Amino acid sequence: MGVLTKHELDYLERSLKRKANETEQDIVGAEWSEHCSYKSSKNYLRQLPTKGIRVVVGPGYDAGVLDIGNGYVITVHIESHNHPSAVEPFGGAATGVGGVIRDIMSMGTRPIAVLDALRFAPIKGASKLSMKSRWLFKNVVKGIADYGNCIGIPTVGGEVEFDESFNDYCLVDVASIGFGRKQDIVANQADVGDVLVLAGGSTGRDGIHGASFASKALDAENRSAVQIPDPFLEKLLLEATMEAIRAGCVKGIKDLGGGGLSCCLSETSDSLGKGFDVELSNVNAREGGMTPAELMISESQERMLYVTSNEKLPALKSVLDKYEIRYSILGTVQEHQDLVVRNSGGVVASMPSHLVAHAPLAERSSRRPKYLDALKSVKRPAVPSDLGMAFLSLLADPTIASKRWVYNQYDHEVGIRTVIKPGMGDAAVLRLNTDDKLVAIKLDGNSKHCYLDPYQGTLGCLSEGRRNVICTGAEPIGVVDHLQFASPEDPEVFWTFTQAVKAIVDYCNFIEIPVVGGKVSFYNETAKGPIKPSIVMGTLGLIENLSHVTKTTLSSGDSIFIIGHTASEMGGSEYYEYLHGITGGAVPKVDLEQDRHNGDATLKVIRDRLARSVHDCSKGGLAVALAEMAIAGRTGLRIDLDAIPNSCKSPDDLLFSESHSRYIVATSKPDQVRSFLSSEGVVFDQIGRAEGTTLEFSKGRNRIVNLPLGKAEAAYYSLEETMK
Amino acid sequence: MIKIGIAVFPGSNCDRDVHHVLNNIIDVKADFLWHTHDRISGYDAMIIPGGFAFGDRLRAGIIAAHSPIIKEVKRMAKDGTPVLGICNGFQILVESGLLPGALMMNDSLRFVCRWTQVQVVNNRTPFTGNFGQEEIFHIPVAHGEGRYVASAPILKDLRRKNQIVLQYAGDDPNGSTDLIAAICNEEGNVMGMMPHPERASESLLTSDRGNNAIGIFRSLASFLQQEQKAIV
């Protein structure tokens, strides 16, 4: 079928010292797809700082594992399902959730939460493109809801961004975190003679060439490459896996995802350092007449591979029987180092597992894109005569507006862990049943910033993630990255990838936070062109004292402080892009020293219980951040813009600049906060108070914005109306 | 000690939450009972928790309604044992004929997960005895098919026999007839409710809305304690 390049086929046959048959080529083709092999990105990803005192397992496994003390661990993973969701949004998004949940299960931990980061074309208006975008948005959300709700794992947070570079396309990123005992982390060791058990769904023709499909530009709608979701079966697999691990009858686990059995078997065999003999006629096929290659590369969902000993096999069988899960004995662990595939006895493929599991790396050239210079400077828009109206429009900007329409469709409370629920804080906070510990998690991306400046834009995503978990009272302990671009074969696209990696390396080294997992997704483009570089960072934080949990809800009477400096860095801001239709200008720069300092000081303010509510400034800037706090607390506020530490050229910049490293702190103890922040030496000032029933912003003697709270609320909650 | 059984079906997903609240917050003994149980003894009450039993295949609750454990639940209900169905558990009780009416797709045609308020319309059931009549409390809902409907004669009966136990107060999350959030059988020992009291039983999880919903479980515990005393 020719999914291997000529160079790859040559390499394969040189290594095998013989011709590779068609089945072998298909197996290798699946595993060597960009999606499974990271052949373009691997060399760069090696630079990421992955070590840390809490890191038990870093990138390269199904999920990263962080030690949170007392014998407990948190696992985390992020995945995308972009191509499938763009052609079949419901099934594509749902199976994306299924995949990431299985990754968490594979580590031996119970998934306790799901988050989603979604990107679509603009949804407002009656154009064909916006109608299509609404259709995609609606069905992606429904797919995630149906899957997560049914399986009983809460979807607790995320983000949604709208941008024209996603016309006729969408990005669907799903992250999951798990929680468990360190001793239950599956060791993944096997001995010769151990048994391979394939359990779960039957293997059908859905998702054939899914990984290869995801490794090319989306030029034709290929629905047969999209898998079919069955959350009920996944729920059974989840419970059975947890029970089997507790019963000690699992020596190794691997879920089946992209590349199907090909990837699962070659990677597991390679990581165990043992060979596998498998017999395909034992696979529960959904239909007759499937070829060995089809069986090997099918991406049918809800399947798990267990490695167990002959002694423990009966115990594993009885757990699977209890849940009425179908399984088959697929094969055995062997002394040799090969993946030997038989069909009714005859060998159809036999290759060294290490060879299959390690694609030859692809050399990609990179070149700084020309568009960057053209977009460097833009003409500043005239300051709107009515800044209140501009403010109101921004609150209704779907990227900024409340995502209540989304999260009310997600069961975000099942599992009774969700302490900070969607809409209440900057990150989701879940309790863990160990002492007073809680975990905070948030996903952040900004394609508009990353397009104009991939390096600073990526730093910004990291800074925002750190800010978000700090605002809830958590100490950031790890990140996962999801790097999404168009074709890596385009040197200009590839340059943006290298810049993003450089930013992650620089930020994480400076802040000293490990990267514990991630995913790279290339070929995100349609006939209409490439997507903007879309970096999504997932940041994890740990709260070790219940009283540190902090929300964004403003209380009437509280004094409002800002920490951090506001500058006229308007490139890629929602104010420029959404309100004025301007793409270009300098994006906000992250000053690493300031970023660390401001975050640390804010966390100390929270831990000293000086803050009642805390919120960071991000999309829409200071004005939007304050409005969100006021709306949550149902109180008005009065702000003196002149009190804000700034170097802005105009009042609109001051209101809507998306400068990083800024925190808003509301307190009933202004004197203590002032003296504490002074002693910390951070840039800060007291800028106003929560009072009244309007959002009032003054500059000098002029009240330049005075918006009734009710009006702001209506705009902020307008997504329901948009999606009707 | 009071013992409560929690029926667990393939696809139940609030079983562990209810188990936690009963054992660790209310301090009664609660056990999981797998759906294949066909002989249950020694349990003072049964709870059918929320989730997607059998993946909601065919229709929410219908397959579970024909399981061995529900046969036992029916027998126990007939003997007067308190039976509480929450969310999917309510759907199962309706499908098994222990409660009248039906639960249809929400009027929004979407799954809805959010907080609402309910008012106690009947505080003379084993599940609401600790509440004041007309007391209002906060509680979350999370369901796709929670719109309670029933024929006119059934509704008339429900009202006449005081079988409407909880009504949504100042809010309508799903379009239920008469804002019905919970009903009981004629005898009062079987109740089904769409909202989730187990999610509103600990103040850490309820924000500033209060954890009064725990009263559902506390009422049951008090009722069972009274019953045990009466027997002794």
Tell me the residue range of the domain where A466 lies.
Answer: 44-69+88-137+150-173+420-547
Nearest to B13 among A142, A152, A233 (CB): A152
What is the average per-residue pLDDT within B126-139?
A: 98
Percent of chain A with pLDDT over 70: 97
Average pLDDT over residues B75-93: 98
**A153 to chain B, closest Cα gap in Å:** 8
Q: What is the DSSP string of A617-639?
A: --TTHHHHHHHHHHHHHT--EEE
CB-based contact, B49 to chain A, within 8 Å:
no
Tell whether the torsion through CA atoms of A77, A81, A85 and A90 is positive or negative: negative
Taking residues A241-270, report their average pLDDT: 94
Tell me whether residue A354 is one of the annotated catalytic residues: no
Structural domains counted in chain A: 3
Taking the Cβ of residue B22 and every Cβ of chain A, the question of whether any pair is shorter than 8 Å is answered with no
Residue A1 pLDDT level (bands cut at 50, 70, 90): very low
> Is A7 a catalytic site residue?
no
Within an 8 Å CB–CB cutoff, is residue B39 touching chain A?
no
Q: What pLDDT score was predicted for residue B232?
A: 62
pLDDT value at A122 more than 60: yes
Rg (CA), chain B: 16
Give the pLDDT band (50/70/90) at residue A211: low
A616 touches B at CB < 8 Å: no
- For residue A168, the one-letter residue type is D
Mutate to test the interface with B, among A301, A416, A634, A635 (most CBs of B within 10 A): A416
Quote the minimal CA–CA distance from B121 to chain A in Å. 26
Per-residue pLDDT of A522-534, as tens digits, reads 999 998 899 999 9
- Tens of pLDDT, residue by residue over A186-201, are 888 999 999 999 999 9
pLDDT at site B229: 84
Contact between A413 and B205 using a beta-carbon 8 Å cutoff = yes
Give me the CATH code for the B3-231 domain, please. Answer: 3.40.50.880
Residue A372 resides in a domain:
no
Give the lowest-confidence range in A494-498, B45-49, B193-197, B205-209: B205-209
**Segment (H or E) for B146:** none
Q: What is the domain-level CATH number for residue A638?
A: 3.90.650.10
More confident residue, B184 or A220: B184
Domain boundaries, chain B: 3-231
Q: Residue B10 above 70 pLDDT?
A: yes
Q: Is position A629 within any domain?
A: yes
Residue B17 contacts A where some CB pair is shorter than 8 Å: yes
| First-last CA distance in chain B | 13
Taking the Cβ of residue B109 and every Cβ of chain A, the question of whether any pair is shorter than 8 Å is answered with no
Interface check for B54 against chain A (CB to CB < 8 A): the answer is: yes
Q: What pLDDT score was predicted for residue A433? A: 78
pLDDT, mean of residues A578-589: 97
Q: For the purposes of burial, counting CB atoms within 10 Å of the CB of A117, is it exposed (0-12), middle (13-18) or buried (19 or more)?
A: buried
Cβ neighbours of B14 in A, within 8 Å: 152, 414
Name which of B32, B114, B194, B201 to mutate to probe chain A: the one with the most chain A Cβ atoms within 10 A of its Cβ. Answer: B114
Distant-in-sequence, close-in-space partners of B23: CB < 8 Å, separation ≥ 6: B29, B30
Name residue A326's amino acid: R
Are residue A231 and residue A304 in the same domain, yes or no?
A: yes
Residue in chain B nearest A414 by alpha carbon:
B14
Looking at chain B, the whole-number percentage of residues with pLDDT higher than 90 is 96
pLDDT of residue A62: 76
Residue A693 lies in a domain: yes
E strand spans, A5-50 = none
| Mean pLDDT (whole number) for B142-162 | 97
**Which residues of B does the annotation mark as catalytic?**
87, 196, 198
If you measure CA to CA, which chain B residue comes closest to A429?
B205
Looking at the fold, whether A543 and A555 belong to one and the same domain comes out as no
Catalytic residue among A81, A83, A209, A660: A81
User: Does B202 lie at the interface with A, CB-CB under 8 angstroms?
Assistant: yes
Cβ <8 Å between B112 and A150: no
Residues A18 and A52 in one domain: no
Q: Which of A547, A565, A594 is the last residue of a domain?
A: A547
Q: Does A150 touch chain B (CB under 8 A)?
A: yes
CA-CA distance, A308 to A329, in Å (whole number)?
10
Contact B20 A416 (CB under 8 A): yes
Are A386 and A477 contained in the same domain? no
- For the cut 80, the answer to whether the pLDDT of residue B174 exceeds it is yes
Q: Which residues of B touch A322 (CB under 8 A)?
A: 34
- Are A110 and A16 contained in the same domain? no
Please say which residue of A306, A327, A359 terminates a domain: A359
A197 Cβ neighbours under 8 A, 6+ residues apart: A305, A306, A307, A308, A313, A316, A320, A327, A328, A329, A330
